[in-house]
Amino acid sequence: MIKQCDYCYKKFKIASAFEKHECKEMKRDKYSKTLAGTRAYNYFVSWVKAKHSSSYDLDYFLDSNYFNSFVRFEEYVSSRNVASISTFLQFLCFKQLTPNTWCSDLVYTAYVEFLDVQKPLDSAILSLQTLNRLGTTFNCNITEVLYKLYPNEYIHLLQTRHLSPWLLLNTKGFQAFLMSGNLNKEQVKIINNLIPLGEWTEKMKNNPEQLTKIKGYIEKLKL
Ligand SMILES: [Zn+2]
């Protein structure tokens, strides 16, 4: 009896060949049913919608030239622990970058710059969400989180912008950390590079309204 693949419609006379058969269509369909596949598809939908295009059903995605770019993007944002993927997508769409260019250090650096310059308040709120999450992990009050983080944890969270200088520089907790003597020379250097003080003093001066709001959150939470 002749068997046929449900995905690519290829026909087989030999049963063992049919059983061994694996085509692109089948692999993509299986992937789309995994968690990662669902995420990749959702990123694709956000991107298509941002372009004001209407072709974003799953079949269209599975057959798209951008399919592999979104698989790579899903792996990238998961493994890099990207801060606020929705804001990152907004940024990528706003910059009109094509999906095959999204996964690079250069693009991520530009995203961090975008957050720092254009999104003070969002950055601070994102940082508060991070502290909240860490509070749950450490099983402590949000106020204590900044006193519990190790230097390398601070560095990672700063690099990815899960914690933003917009929030950190205005907290007692981060000041205490800098003065704690727990940092080695290399770590001091990295943090100074991550937060050039002159530049940040200037940024704060240029955004007085956002700064007042951020300081308001900090005061309320006693950070
Ligand atoms: Zn097939």
**How many angstroms is it from 38 CA to the middle of ligand 1?**
21
Is residue 213 within 8 A of residue 121, CB to CB? The reply is: yes
Mean local confidence (pLDDT), 176-201: 94
93-148 pLDDT tens trace: 999 999 999 999 999 999 999 999 999 999 999 999 999 999 999 999 999 999 99
Tell whether the model's pLDDT for residue 52 goes beyond 90.
no
12-46 pLDDT tens trace: 999 999 999 999 999 999 999 999 999 999 999 99
**How many angstroms is it from 25 CA to the middle of ligand 1?**
6
**How many angstroms is it from 32 CA to the middle of ligand 1?**
16
Q: What confidence score (pLDDT) does residue 133 get?
A: 96
**DSSP letters along 2-68, please?**
-EE-TTT--EESSHHHHHH---HHHHHHHHHTSHHHHHHHHHHHHHHHHTT----SHHHHHT-TTHH
Q: Say which DSSP state 102 is in.
A: -
Among residues 125, 138, 118, the alpha carbon closest in space to that of 164 is found at 125
**How many angstroms is it from 205 CA to the middle of ligand 1?**
61
**How many angstroms is it from 46 CA to the middle of ligand 1?**
29
Mean local confidence (pLDDT), 168-175: 97
The residues spanned by each domain of the chain are: 24-115, 119-221
pTM for this prediction: 0.86
Tokens of 60: 């269209």
Q: Which amino acid is at 134?
A: L
Q: Which pLDDT band, with edges at 50, 70 and 90, does 53 fall under?
A: confident
**How many angstroms is it from 28 CA to the middle of ligand 1?**
11
Is residue 91 within 8 A of residue 114, CB to CB? The reply is: yes
**How many angstroms is it from 141 CA to the middle of ligand 1?**
54
Among residues 158, 164, 77, the alpha carbon closest in space to that of 128 is found at 164
**How many angstroms is it from 18 CA to the middle of ligand 1?**
9
* Phi, psi of 12, rounded to the nearest 5 degrees: -130, 135
**How many angstroms is it from 24 CA to the middle of ligand 1?**
7
**How many angstroms is it from 78 CA to the middle of ligand 1?**
30
130-145 pLDDT tens trace: 999 999 999 999 999 9
